[in-house]
Amino acid sequence: MPDPIGQLEQHVMLAIMRKQPAAYGVAIQQELLERTGRKHSVGAIYATLDKLQKNGHVVPRQGEATAERGGRRKMYFNLTAKGQSALQASLNAIESLRRGIRLQGAMR
């Protein structure tokens, strides 16, 4: 069974998939804001990326140095096969829990 992943990890992994091939910290942050309405700090994004990398779920690759970044390179991220498997297992578990539940009005 793949390593369990949390909600922010799921969201970051899905954002990476959406932003390919330009999935780097700020682009991931913006995608999460647009899609979920939640603004995560760049620090939280990179901490999550670091954890995902340590677990073998994502791999980084360096981009080209750019003048607008003072000659620094962007770090782009891709999901690994292990990461895709962990994400799929996590999303399947949520779907299994959700199946058959009908949300009703707010409880008082």
Average pLDDT (74-79) is: 95
Q: Cis check for the bond before 21: say yes or no (omega within 30 of 0).
A: yes
pLDDT value at residue 65? 75
pLDDT (tens digit per residue) in 9-49 = 999 999 999 999 999 999 999 999 999 999 999 999 999 99
**Fold of the domain built from segment(s) 7-88:** Arc Repressor Mutant, subunit A (1.10.10)
pTM of the model: 0.87
The residue among 47, 51, 11 whose CA lies nearest residue 31 is: 11
Largest CA distance in the chain: 57
